[in-house]
Amino acid sequence: MTFVLGGDRPVTLATVVKVAREHLPLSLSSRARRRIEQGFDLLYQRIEAGDTIYGVTTGLGAAVDTAVLAVPDGGRDIDLLHRIQQRIPLARAVGVGQPAARDQVRAMMLARLAGLAEGYSGVSLPVAQGLMAMLNIGIHPRVPLIGSIGEADLAPLAHIGRTLAGDGLAEYHDEMHEIQTLARTAGLVLPSLTGKDGLALVSSNAASVGMAALALADIAQVVNAQAGAIALSFEAFRANISPLSPWVNQIRDLPGHRETCAHLLSLLAGGSLCLPGGARLLQDPLSFRCAASVMASVRQAFIHARQATELELNSSDDNPALIPAAGAALANANFDATHLALACETLGLALARQASCAAERIMKLMSAGASGLPRFLTPHAGQAGFAALQKTVSALASDIVHHANPMAAITVAVADRVEDYASQSMAAVTNLTRLADSLRYLVAIELMVAAQAFDLRGAQISRPGRGSAAIYQRVRALVAPLDQDRSTAGDIETLASALCAAGWLAPGEHLLEIN
């Protein structure tokens, strides 16, 4: 199996996951190769015509006012072009901090290749093919994650570009090597950068976009698992499901609410909670009553973030863009990723609200006054049960809210104040990634606590819903009920890992899709 870039199939979140984590190989369609060659040919036509082309005949950033390439009488100075483009990624490889994980690096490389396949970058075909070969072979440059402010991810992409230019470190089969040594060992032919190659490798938001795709895929899995946790909490609390009624949507058609209610009801279907008199109370705490409407907001925010990410995966953000149909090198601002940053921040804010509800449901299940179950869900008087776990829940909720905070709209201007605005898309994506990891633990805790409450409810649950019963069995296959006090840290880790696995969700348990 190979995914063909520039073919008939768009790049989706699922594509990124398959390439980044399952090492699905890539190839370029004949149409993509032709587009790349046309853009490269146009670049040289415009150079020979004497056009001023940003980053090719001029410096970059504040140095746009400096001519760096003179082409007398239409002649090509190939050596000078090579030296200029070779230096671009080297000079911009200034990232610091924690290196990107292997799957994140692969996602970045795929995102950049997808943009190059659009044919507007002016990149040479050997350089595009060299980047693809590096990905297919499994050579992964070391990419520090701090250095981008979101108006093109220059620093992280430069660490990839410098590797392709024959400089720096890369990982291969879990070992780090100098790229020149590694290229000989792995049979990678390093291309010669010329034309606009160096700029094309770094002038893109592919680092933010690739990481966003992985974060969204993980969030979809966690939110889908959380829907199961909500259903199990409903069963254990004996919550009133009237807020899930189709009539609710007849009188207020909140976007996504109809689908969310139907999904939760499908998990509860066949159970006694759906029968008259199944609920304990007329009006439950808002963390139960509003579960569907909050999740509907998460669903809508996820769809928006997925659309923003997939737009970037199937577009060109190159500046300048080489437009064969217009015969022009077009200066533009397609590198601005404000829409992606805002979409990720909106999703983070929605997830923070869902996390707040989850934390409160967990606390209510542990409260004898709220649930009618033994305090802290221990069957033995004098034992702690889940009492100390409340602090972990509180810490996770605070961490999620912290990472949901939007970035400041005003940032330090750079490039002699020419670049006086920044989307901070990389920071927004990094925050979302961190938030999703804490949410994963919170969902695991809700599953564990709801299963314990389910056990203690006992005969009062005469018949659970088919979906919630299956979820309960999945939890109990991994985590035993809490009888005598013990450490539950291992149980949480086990569930948190399991709910991210492809086999955790059963058919029909996907509220959010990544295909």
Q: What is the pLDDT of residues 129-147, one digit of tens each?
A: 999 999 999 999 999 999 9
Question: Average pLDDT of the chain?
Answer: 94
| Domain total in the chain | 2
* Comparison of pLDDT for 65 and 505, the residue scoring more: 505
pLDDT at residue 242, as a whole number: 95
Q: Are 162 and 90 in contact (CB under 8 A)?
A: yes
Rounded mean pLDDT, 487-491: 97
Q: What CATH number did the domain enclosing 459 receive?
A: 1.20.200.10
Residues 258 and 173 in one domain: no
Residues 161 and 274 in one domain: no
Euclidean distance between CA atoms 478 and 494, whole angstroms: 7
Residue 358 has pLDDT above 90, yes or no: yes
Of 183, 204, 225, the position where a domain reaches its end is 204
Residues 195 and 245 in one domain: no
Q: What is the pLDDT of residues 4-55, one digit of tens each?
A: 999 999 999 999 999 999 999 999 999 999 999 999 999 999 988 889 899 8
Residues 171 and 255 in one domain: no
Whether residue 375 lies inside any domain: the answer is yes
Residues 266 and 131 in one domain: no
Rounded mean pLDDT, 203-210: 97
Q: What is the pLDDT of residues 40-94, one digit of tens each?
A: 999 999 988 889 899 898 888 888 888 887 655 555 567 788 888 999 999 999 9
Whether residue 346 lies inside any domain: the answer is no
Whether residue 340 lies inside any domain: the answer is no
pLDDT at residue 409, as a whole number: 85
| Burial 405-416, CB ≥16 within 10 A → b, else e | ebbeeebeeeee
Q: What is the pLDDT of residues 164-181, one digit of tens each?
A: 999 999 999 999 999 999
Of 151, 178, 204, the position where a domain reaches its end is 204
pLDDT at residue 210, as a whole number: 98
Residue 273 has pLDDT above 90, yes or no: yes
Rounded mean pLDDT, 273-299: 96
Euclidean distance between CA atoms 468 and 497, whole angstroms: 20
Residue 465 has pLDDT above 60, yes or no: yes
Whether residue 38 lies inside any domain: the answer is yes
Whether residue 515 lies inside any domain: the answer is no
3-class secondary-structure state, position 382: coil
How many other CB atoms are there within 10 angstroms of residue 399's CB atom?
Answer: 18
Residues 248 and 395 in one domain: yes
Residue at 468: amino acid letter? S
Whether residue 359 lies inside any domain: the answer is yes
For 326, residues 6+ apart whose C-beta sits below 8 A from its C-beta are none
Whether residue 150 lies inside any domain: the answer is yes
Q: What is the pLDDT of residues 296-338, one digit of tens each?
A: 999 999 999 999 999 999 999 999 999 999 999 999 999 999 9
Q: What is the pLDDT of residues 109-119, one digit of tens each?
A: 999 999 999 99
- Backbone dihedral angles phi then psi of residue 7, each to the nearest 5 degrees: -95, -150
pLDDT at residue 2, as a whole number: 96
Query: Between the CA of residue 348 and those of 19, 287, 437, what are the distances in Å?
Result: 25, 18, 12
- Which residues span the domain enclosing 454? 211-290+355-498
Detail the DSSP E strand segments found in 22-181.
26-28, 96-99, 140-141, 144-146, 169-172, 175-178
Rounded mean pLDDT, 253-270: 96
pLDDT at residue 351, as a whole number: 98
What is the separation of C-alpha 463 from the centre of its chain, rounded to a whole number of angstroms? 38
Euclidean distance between CA atoms 256 and 254, whole angstroms: 6
* pLDDT confidence band for 369 (50 / 70 / 90): very high
Residues 387 and 489 in one domain: yes
Residues 388 and 425 in one domain: yes
Q: Determine what percent of the chain is predicted with pLDDT higher than 70.
A: 98
Residue 156 has pLDDT above 90, yes or no: yes
328: β partners:
323
Residue at 238: amino acid letter? R
Residues 102 and 232 in one domain: no
Residues 268 and 390 in one domain: yes
Residues 55 and 130 in one domain: yes
Residues 196 and 256 in one domain: no
Q: What CATH number did the domain enclosing 167 receive?
A: 1.10.275.10
